[in-house]
Amino acid sequence: MTLHPVPGTELFGNDPLGLRDPYAVYRRLRRDRPVLPVGMIFGTTWLVTRHDDVREALRNDALFSNRSNAKGIGLVMGRTIIEMDGAEHLRHRSLVTPSLAPRALRGDFPTLVADIAHELIDGFAERGRADLVAEFSFVYPLKVFARILGLPEQDWAEVHRWAIDLIGIARDPATGLAASRTLAAYLQPLLDERRAEPTADLISRLVHAEVAGCRLSDEEVVSFLRLLVVAGAETTYHLIGSALYGLLTHPEQLAEVAADPSLVPAVLAEALRWESPVQIVTRETAQAVTLSGVEVPAAESLTLAIGSANRDETRFEAPDRFDLHRAPSEHVAFGYGKHYCAGSRLAELEARVALEALLERLPDVRLEAGTECAVVGLAFRGPDRLPVRFHAKTLARASA
């Protein structure tokens, strides 16, 4: 069979980072070409857009292998659970995931996170206006994560820079690979210290983790930390941003949540579905497979469009509408099956605390009139900025 892949640029244009609306394209593809070969810089990939197909590919790890990640993000991460299959994946996952459960994290985690949120709000509260992306959602998860890892505060900004360079590997391989090496050189002395003298932080937990006599090598810990720096900083940031964007552009729903903060988890579930922070994941076919009647040969790359699956009209009524009152959602924003996001509970807790703090402190927050902001991106997705105005409330808080 001769393949005639559609150029990716024909579908989405030349600026995937600034892309505002992939959903019109996805809607057409779901209807007419649900499994479509697309030509990208790195070769051909089959773009899968229907909810049922995406979920099936995520669920069936025997037919749809994660080794695809070894050729992409694995080049800068090193070998981690996102590129492993079967027994190897299970073994590594049971070593690393207990360290990510919120209760396993340092001290009184919700209080620690709330303190960081309130510190950031203190930085702009008196001004009566702020950009909630630049001054809050961008920095908050990184600060939380650096504290969980136990990184010195003066290093946070630089570590974030390396994380951004890592995920830019497709755009700029040399910078991505250099960041990967720099991050390893930065982390190694911290590993040595925690091995000799464990503390309560995540690095200590990882270097001392043991399941059935197995431990992680230094290289495995460093690779997992590279994955976490990206996963911890680049995803929750967009979730918080998109949840705020959804509320700020739907003032009636914002008023409802401000009056009843127990609705915050529903807002987050809807934001995850409506503007999924991780829009695509990849797989490789372990053998020839058929999806929506289309045969894909063995050893082909697949791009599973989570962002499209979560807007599939056969699953979600009026899928383009932001509606916090939807029934419990079948979204796949955290993936599905064996590779389901290992940090989902941490991310949800962090995002919930952030939204609660913002709603409490900025009760009349609204978008600044006459300014523009938009949700952008094709791979990771979130609002570019959120200029707001408010009258802040001062609170007497007991810190942890």
Q: How far apart are CA 398 and CA 384, in angstroms?
A: 33
Q: Which stretch binds ligand HEM (CB under 6 A): 223-231, 284-292, 312-320, 367-375?
A: 223-231
Closer residue to ligand HEM in complex, CB, 38/269: 269
346 makes contact with ligand HEM (CB under 6 A) = yes
Site for ligand HEM in 69-108 (CB under 6 A): 81-82, 93, 100
The two three-digit tokens of residue 142, written as one number: 């990184």
Q: Which stretch binds ligand HEM (CB under 6 A): 151-159, 189-197, 233-241, 362-370?
A: 233-241
Site for ligand HEM in 263-282 (CB under 6 A): 277-278, 281
Q: Which stretch binds ligand HEM (CB under 6 A): 36-44, 124-132, 318-326, 333-341?
A: 333-341
Among 34, 176, 335, 383, binds ligand HEM (CB under 6 A): 335
CA 315-318-322 angle, 5° bins: 105
The two three-digit tokens of residue 266, written as one number: 């529903």
Closer residue to ligand HEM in complex, CB, 281/354: 281
Alpha-carbon distance values, 146 to 121, 140, 159, 174 (Å)? 18, 10, 9, 26
309 makes contact with ligand HEM (CB under 6 A) = no
Could you tell me the smallest distance in angstroms from the CB atom of residue 120 to ligand HEM? 18
Per-residue DSSP letters for 222-241?
HHHHHHHHHHHHHTHHHHHH
Alpha-carbon distance values, 227 to 83, 174, 206, 255, 278 (Å)? 11, 18, 13, 37, 14
Could you tell me the smallest distance in angstroms from the CB atom of residue 195 to ligand HEM? 21
347 makes contact with ligand HEM (CB under 6 A) = yes
Q: How far apart are CA 242 and CA 247, in angstroms?
A: 9
382 makes contact with ligand HEM (CB under 6 A) = no
**Residues ≥6 apart with Cβ < 8 Å to 155:** 146, 186
Among 73, 151, 203, 239, binds ligand HEM (CB under 6 A): 239
Indicate the residue whose CB is closest to ligand HEM.
343
Place of tokens 């001054």: 135
Which pairing describes strands 280-285 and 64-65: parallel, antiparallel, or unpaired? antiparallel
Q: Which of 125-148 are b and which e, b meaning 16 or more Cβ less than 10 Å from the residue's Cβ?
A: beeeebbbbebbbbbbbbbbbbbb
Among 74, 246, 343, 387, binds ligand HEM (CB under 6 A): 343
Among 50, 143, 331, 339, binds ligand HEM (CB under 6 A): 339
User: Measuring CA to CA, which residue among 270, 282, 247, 278 is closest to residue 359?
Assistant: 247
231 makes contact with ligand HEM (CB under 6 A) = yes
Other Cβ atoms less than 10 A from the Cβ of 328: the count is: 7
Site for ligand HEM in 9-38 (CB under 6 A): none
Question: Which positions lie near ligand HEM, rule CB under 6 A?
Answer: 58, 81-82, 93, 100, 227-228, 231-232, 235-236, 239, 277-278, 281, 306, 333-335, 339, 341-343, 346-347
